[in-house]
Structure 1
Amino acid sequence: MTFSWKRVNAIFVKDYKDFSRNMAVSIIIFFPPVLAALYSRMGTSSIESIYMIFNMGFAMVAAFVQSCLIAEEKEKNTLRGLMLSPATTAEILSGKSLLSFLLTLFSIVLSAIFFEYLPKNIGIIALAIILSSFFYIGLGTLLGLYAKSIMEASALVLPVIIVFSAGTFSKSLAEQYPVLKAANYLPNVQLLDIATKVEANAGGADVLSHFAIIAAWVIIISLLTVIIFRKRMVD
């Protein structure tokens, strides 16, 4: 069966309508930009502060919104019907992820504008942000598949927001507690490392290892999501 953008668009339009009716979820996309505006007014515009807000945006928008969209389908008992429709797994997951992806980019770009952040290499940073968004959307999908309701999805995503928002803090804690050095390989820390090196005039080759680590996380979370999704189809 060929990939159908018509089916993907139909799922996207349905998600947009559901999202626009749920104010409790839709208002979350403005939290990171508001925080960015406040930080900027206070003169706190270091690269660590900027990417703390960016990573918070990924967790609060990509992961949270995505998990709520999936959980809402389960709460309304419409996810099973979607799984049994002619749409393939790739079409369903693409359609369910498209809105979260666009909202994440909107939130990140708006936050960058408030920070007046202009990276020295926009191409590298844009690619890193897009790649990172795939990880968080995959994580949000996974949490949504486990949650039984939007309320439960909100509770499950809370640790994600806490862990992935604090990139700098995890690095400093790792220096004090060596057992936490594994946290340096988390996608949020790798994104911060890429941005820091870019500001030091690093090129693509200098950040290739960081991209590889983020890509590995994306592959792992994508495989887990597809496996759990297909398991839910036959449960």
Structure 2
Amino acid sequence: MNVSLKRIQAIIVKDYKEFSRNYAISVMILFPLLFAFMYRSDGAEQATMYAFVINFSLAMLTSFVQACLIAEEKERNTLRSLMMTPASMLDVLIGKSALVFIISAAVLALSTYIFGYDTSNMMVLVAAIGISILLYTAVGTICGLYSKTLIEASLSIFPVLIIFTMGPFALVFEEDYPFVKVLRYLPSSQLSELVAALEIGAATNELVMPLVIISIWAIVLTVISFVLYKKRLMDR
């Protein structure tokens, strides 16, 4: 499947204009910064609170913006028109994901700076956050493709926000309710474990499993988003 950089760039520019015009969507970049400022701490709970800020930001910014941008195009019926252009499936999905990835990466980097979090293995943290951005972008794509309107897309993100953000905190009940242990395999829980491991200076080999699990989530959800887009393409 051919990939055209010019078409991808055109889609990015188009999405940026829509993003900057729609203040209900663009205002989301402020929430991660606000939460980073509110919950920054130098105490023993720093890793826990930092993981919460990042997980919340990924759901509330990355998934929400991606879902709304796609749903807005569906509501205007411009996504169908985009599907009928010479742009390939990869052109469209990469183009519509690139802007959200760039915005998320920039905002999360600034949030990390505001929070004051630092680690000796920053490369691992950057890799984990980068993979997580891809994962949550795929989640947003899926929610956007399933939604018919912008309002539906906004509502569809709330289950993602609740499950992925609060999942790690529910693990405190795993001794009383064994079924809660399944939440340990959520990407948000794995990211929290990774941040905690980085906090105590864990060896690199101890950081591999969380990265692998997050990567599996990212691959599976990306494939699902591709399949769903192709299904929408066939239904036009």
TM-score above 0.5, yes or no: yes
In terms of mean alpha carbon deviation, does 204-213 or 161-170 score higher? 161-170
In terms of mean alpha carbon deviation, does 55-64 or 173-182 score higher? 173-182
1:103 match: 103
2:173 match: 173
User: When the two structures are aligned, how many residues end up with a matched partner?
Assistant: 235
1:213 match: 213
Q: TM-score, normalised by structure 1?
A: 0.95
In terms of mean alpha carbon deviation, does 108-117 or 34-43 score higher? 34-43
Q: TM-score, normalised by structure 2?
A: 0.95
1:71 counterpart = 2:110: no
Task: State the alpha-carbon separation in 2 of the partners of residues 43 and 18 from structure 1.
Answer: 41
- Aligned-residue offset at 1:110: 1.7
Paired residues for 1:86-235 under 5 Å? 86-235=86-235
- C-alpha distance 172-11 of structure 1, shift in aligned 2 (>3 A): same
- Aligned-residue offset at 1:39: 1.8
1:22 counterpart = 2:10: no
The code of the aligned residue for 1:26 comes to S
Identity %: 40
Task: State the alpha-carbon separation in 1 of the partners of residues 3 and 171 from structure 2.
Answer: 42
Contact 1:32/1:53 (CA < 8 Å) preserved in 2? Answer: yes
Task: State the alpha-carbon separation in 1 of the partners of residues 70 and 23 from structure 2.
Answer: 16
Contact 2:168/2:184 (CA < 8 Å) preserved in 1? Answer: no
2:54 match: 54
RMSD: 1.6
The code of the aligned residue for 2:219 comes to I
SS at match of 1:15: helix
- Which structure 1 residue ranges, 5 or more long, are not aligned? none
- Which structure 2 residue ranges, 5 or more long, are not aligned? none
**Runs of 4+ that moved beyond 4 A:** 41-45
- C-alpha distance 43-23 of structure 1, shift in aligned 2 (>3 A): farther
The code of the aligned residue for 2:69 comes to L
1:2 counterpart = 2:2: yes
